[in-house]
Structure 1
Amino acid sequence: MAKANKTGKTKLHPTKNPISENVRGSMVELLQTHLATAVDITYQTKQAHWNVKGMNFIAVHELFDDLHEVVEDYVDKIAERLTALGGQAHGTVQASVENTILDPYPLELVKSEDHLKRLADSYAKWSKAAQEGLEEAGEAGDDLTEDLLTEVARGLDKSIYFLESHFQA
């Protein structure tokens, strides 16, 4: 979560952004969680990319690399939206560990099917949170954050489809 000041509010940088300070503060907190989760899933996907073995190795290896690039773009977009609202992006690996919604990725996975299923779980968990977040942003009247989280949720759903297609009959 974003660091709060003594009044319990998220500390924001001065900005001419027309959204109220209360809404900006709540959106910064929301986006901090999504930034942490995006950083986490970026490296969960790379972990799978580096360590996958088995049938269809090259196809799965390349899929994981492609998914990594997509999610890495979300990291940047989320951080930039957060800072445009006057927040301070907490985008380090350490901050991610403290704020991600995802479960730790098992380091012992090797088989492609195991990586595919585990990543599908992580992507689905973040997708659900992104959909909830876009509703929260809509209710707060922050159309741009709602739009960003819609883009993220749409991309995550596509990634889930790519992952699950390997083990669905």
Structure 2
Amino acid sequence: MATVKSPLTESAQKTTGEALQGALVDLIDLSLLAKQAHWNLTGRNFKVVHEHLDEIVDLARQGMDDVAERAIAIGVNPDGRARTVADRTELPQLDAGYIADDKAVASVVDALAQIIGRFRERIAATDEPDQVSQDLLIGITAELEKQHWMFQAQS
């Protein structure tokens, strides 16, 4: 079986791999949270929030693909299985059923704030071991922060 030889030291690979895996779980769950809200949304601002939620889904999906591919590039297997995400997520889950637009916005604002905090920790953790992965995390964080600002403006 072929494996990818890491360009990083074993220690750097471990630290960076953990940061990337955590980012992957956050992004997968963010995409699921946003899609759940998108499907069940109600309220006066339905159309605007409905469409904006898809921007979050697109951002999360692109980010998760970039993070997973970076993990493989450094010889770490990404784990995006449903069980892994369910076991490791730190995001509060939405209630089942219809979701009022203001509650959806508040949930997304909260989820983004939590994820941004963890991404900033991962940025700090990867400063020494892998600045290439750090750069990827910085770029994703910038986009998450932009969406956080835009959703906050709706609340």
Per the shorter chain, which TM-score range?
A: over 0.9
* Among candidates 138, 148, 152, match of residue 160 of structure 1: 148
- The Cα offsets for residues 12-59 of structure 1, whole Å up to 9 and x where unpaired, read as x84343211211122112211111111111000001100110112111
Q: 1:63-91: per-residue Cα shift (whole Å, max 9, x none)?
A: 11121111110110111111111111101
Moved over 6 A (4+): none
- Contact 1:42–1:71 (Cα < 8 Å) also in 2: yes
* 1:100-119 to 2 correspondences below 5 Å: 100-108=89-97, 110-119=99-108
Q: How does 1:2-151 map to 2 (within 5 A)?
A: 14-108=3-97, 110-140=99-129, 142-151=130-139
Q: CA contact under 8 A between 1:127 and 1:156: conserved in structure 2?
A: yes
The question of whether the paired residues in 2 share the 8 Å contact of 1:33 and 1:101 is answered with no
Matching residue of 1:4: none
Q: How far 1:61 moved relative to its partner? A: 0.6
Q: Structure 2 regions of 5+ residues with no counterpart?
A: none
CA RMSD in angstroms, aligned pairs only: 1.4
CA distance in 2, matches of 1:153, 1:51: 27
Q: Percent same amino acid among aligned pairs?
A: 26
Whole-Å Cα distance in 2 between the matches of residues 120 and 95 of structure 1? 24
Q: Which has the higher contact order (CA 8 A, sep 6+)?
A: 2
Secondary structure class of the residue paired with 1:61: helix
Aligned length: 154
* TM value normalised by structure 1: 0.86
From the superposition, tell whether residues 120 and 42 of structure 1 become closer, same or farther in structure 2 (CA, over 3 Å).
same
Shift, 1:108, TM fit: 4.1
TM-score normalised by length of structure 2: 0.93
Deviation at residue 153 of structure 1 after TM alignment: 0.9
1: CA distance, partners of 2:26 / 2:12 = 21
Q: Which runs of 5+ in 1 are unaligned?
A: 1-12
Query: 1:34 touches 1:100 (CA, 8 Å); kept in 2?
Result: no
